[in-house]
Structure 1
Amino acid sequence: MPVYVVVMYVLLGLAGLVMIAVVGSAVAEWMKPKHKRLAEARRRLLGTETPTGTTSTTVPLGLSEDDVKSIAESERFQWVGYSGRNDRRLNFRRAVVAADETPIDDAGAGEAGLLAALRVVQPDINGVARVDADVIAERMTQDEYRTAAASEGWVPAGREQQGDTTYLLFRRFDSTAVPRTGPEFLNGPPLAELRKHPRAKEVAAAVLAETGVDPLSARELEAARAAHVRLRARALRWTAPAVLLGFAALITVLLAFGTVTVLVAAAVAIVVTGCAIPAVRANRARIRAIAPYRHAYERLVSELLS
């Protein structure tokens, strides 16, 4: 088989991968929970607002115009009409209040509730603190939100939906937060809760003497958490190209048969293996890095809560 034919099949395979990615993205968007689509629509609406209070947005996939208008109304925008032909946009406008004309009734209402919650909340074992979104009584801009969190030593880390409750996620400035997806780090109560147990120091001292790791040490917990996140990211960086090249090789073999095709597929398989090996090594290194603290922590939890 001529080389140009093989090249054509490889290009067709890559085109197939692009098509799979596009369709997969659309399907993932359709499968996304509605509250996430609504949150994204709200971000789009606020993210395109001009200093004069005007904004425009398209209707996200899976939502209706009424959904977008309802979000706009909750943010005190007024509907002013459509714009665009091929890409129809919904236009809104709201009154802009000058910094020195902020209504007294609204001043700090959202910030006060958030600050009160951040002063008492504690991060979980994965470094994430959760605050009920209902504590924010009034709308806050992104800058106000980040500034309020920073004043208490927190950094916003996204949102999480649990049933009908929306939680705002935060992490400490000087700590690492474990991503909610991917391999698990630890599963158990936070150190602040364990320290309240009357036998916590006694058991922790025994575990330290046996393992050389203090399970109540925030420094050792943070070191293990940081290693977990760093090595997890390294594994993912090698996993992505391995998966894509594997699909390319599979589609190439399915589209054409012959000696040259097999050789091309074999070459791609070698590259895939070359990407997979570092990914496996990074994952094993991650498991080894967190094993000492994981063992000490699980021993402590078992002794205190059994």
Structure 2
Amino acid sequence: MDRRGVKIRKRLLHGVLPVVRLLPLPTAARVVSGIGRLEHRMNRDLRLRFDRAVARGNEALGCDWDVEEVSKRLAGNHILWRSRDMIVDVASDARALAMFDVTGREHLDEAVGRGRGCIVLTSHFGAHMLPAHWLYRNQYPLKLYMERPRSVSRFMASKFDREGPLGQDKLFISRKGDAADAAGSILRAAKALKSGMLLFLAGDVRWRGRLTTPARLMGREFTFSSTWIALAAMSRAPVLPVFCRVGEDCRYHMEFLPAFDLPRDAQDESQAGAHAQRFLDLLEERIRRHPADSNEYLFWDDGYVAA
């Protein structure tokens, strides 16, 4: 899919969403996913690209996936992935929250209850922005620590309009920033944690430069950002992994895992890789079990434009 095709699809998606949200939300998600499945069926080149990517992942992980079925479902879920949290961009909290099936909330509340802030460690697996949406809807004091997300709901975007030293705008990061920008953003993030906030950031971001570490995913080594490791070591905030996938019922199945603490020397070069690998192993296990929610991982270095 070239960038021109992606832009056309985004315009189509933005046009369709206000209409389909009038339906029951699981039905709306099924309709949006159907756009991807239809494209998969009608576009031979796209279908072959997905088939090849799924076959490579199947071999790399030593799995026994039904390649054609996974390929079709992955194409549908890619559309949902690109729609971020816009399916649940509705006024009613009850209607939006009914789309979630949540396990492990006790782990979240235990980590928050420690009073040291909390790093909510996410990834680009499944419906990756939906945990943030759910946390906002449930009134947790959440801040995002990532590049400013595009194509999110108006509900989520409204949470970004916060000024002051702990305002959300100051916590968005940029790949184009210099060392001073990076240092300043980390200090602001650490201050947010110290004030008791939840910090939502990803542990699977491929990065270059400072605060990175090599680790493996799907049989290949990459260099990943270790910012979350440095923040956990500096702040002593617990790290709470979260994963969210699209179920067969077209609802969001979200799991909070038990929180863990990192030692103060966790960011040292000799330690960071093992901590990064710990999280990536959790991610890889979910890719094995739910390959249709693998989103971009099967396409890394394939030239496919996912968003």
TM-score by length of structure 2 reads 0.21
Q: Could you say which structure has the higher helix fraction?
A: 1
Structure number, greater radius of gyration: 1
Say which structure, 1 or 2, has more relative contact order (CA 8 Å, 6+ apart): 2
